[in-house]
């Protein structure tokens, strides 16, 4: 099954209105209409509208980093799915390890968000991945299976192809310590098989699985050469236009 590669830039809690606008304009100029791959940028929520407006006429899509599953209500400081949708987001991260770490995100709450996002027609990018101690205990595959089983527990086979999975080993995020292509491929291949088992083998073949964790211009080609890596979720290296452009153009250089 043909899977279109997807490169997503997670800007995390960086940039402001001016610098985010400058970055979006540079990406618009250099990455618009690039064939054979999807490109998404994921600014902080207050900047989504401005970035989406700049990229409105381009092929680059915009995502949000976080939402609440409830439609509305007394949740001070939180953001609803309709809010991000109304300002131009078509993707949303779910279960990023920093949300799991600092905001008590659980597999169960991820499940509710994925359900609600799909209801609204927004593509969830569901982040999974183990900490170093789990890897060293040899429990990575079991740990990731549980994240998938619970997180994807409220959707059916028709819908799972509207979800993107991002495998992000926590020990590789922001540390400069990228997983080797072999380490990443092992988990990606396992995730694909497990999704095939949870849903249907065709769903396993069709779902896009991104790698995340210290992706940069130097290591992207080796990662993208792996058969089960369909793209990347890029943090730090997505903040510089030229570096992110090189990552997006992984095969062309």
Nearer to ligand PGA, 181 or 236 (CB): 236
Does residue 168 carry a catalytic annotation? yes
Contact 135, 213 (CB under 8 A): no
Nearer to ligand PGA, 12 or 68 (CB): 12
Of 20-28, 47-55, 64-72, 232-240, the window that binds ligand PGA (rule: CB under 6 A) is: 232-240
Residue 174 vs residues 15, 109, 179, 212, 218: alpha-carbon distances, Å:
17, 24, 12, 10, 15
The yes or no reply on residue 63 touching ligand PGA (CB under 6 A) is no
Q: Shortest gap between Cβ of 177 and ligand PGA (angstroms)?
A: 9
The yes or no reply on residue 173 touching ligand PGA (CB under 6 A) is yes
The yes or no reply on residue 233 touching ligand PGA (CB under 6 A) is yes
The yes or no reply on residue 66 touching ligand PGA (CB under 6 A) is no
Query: Nearest-CA neighbor of 97 among 166, 155, 153, 160?
Result: 166
User: Residue 10 pairs with which residues in a beta bridge?
Assistant: 42
Q: Which residues contact 104 (CB under 8 A, 6 or more apart)?
A: none
Question: Among 174, 201, 202, 225, which residue interacts with ligand PGA (rule: CB under 6 A)?
Answer: 174
- The set of catalytic residues is 96, 168
What does the binding site for ligand PGA look like in residue numbers (CB under 6 A)? 10, 168, 173-174, 212-215, 233-237
């Amino acid at each position: 099954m043909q899977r279109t590669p997807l490169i997503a830039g997670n800007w995390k809690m960086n940039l402001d209105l001016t610098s985010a606008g400058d970055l979006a304009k540079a990406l618009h100029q250099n990455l618009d209409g690039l064939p054979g791959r999807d490109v998404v940028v994921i600014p902080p929520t207050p900047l989504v509208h401005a970035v989406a407006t700049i990229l409105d006429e381009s092929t680059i899509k915009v995502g949000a980093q976080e939402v609440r599953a409830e439609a509305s209500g007394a949740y001070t400081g939180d953001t609803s799915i309709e809010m991000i949708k109304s300002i131009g987001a078509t993707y949303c991260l779910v279960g990023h390890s920093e949300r799991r770490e600092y905001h008590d995100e659980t597999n169960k709450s991820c499940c509710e968000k994925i359900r609600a996002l799909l209801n609204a027609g927004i593509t969830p990018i569901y982040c999974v991945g183990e900490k170093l101690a789990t890897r060293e205990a040899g429990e990575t595959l079991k740990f990731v299976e549980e994240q998938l089983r619970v997180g994807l527990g409220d959707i059916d086979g028709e819908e799972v192809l509207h979800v993107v999975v991002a495998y992000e080993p926590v020990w590789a995020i922001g540390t400069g310590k990228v997983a080797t292509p072999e380490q990443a491929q092992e988990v990606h291949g396992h995730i694909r098989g497990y999704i095939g088992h949870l849903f249907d083998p065709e769903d396993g073949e069709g779902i896009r699985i991104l790698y995340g964790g210290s992706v940069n211009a130097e290591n992207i080609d080796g990662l993208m050469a792996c058969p089960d890596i369909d793209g990347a979720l890029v943090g730090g290296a997505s903040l510089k236009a030229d570096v992110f452009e090189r990552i997006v153009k992984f095969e062309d250089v």
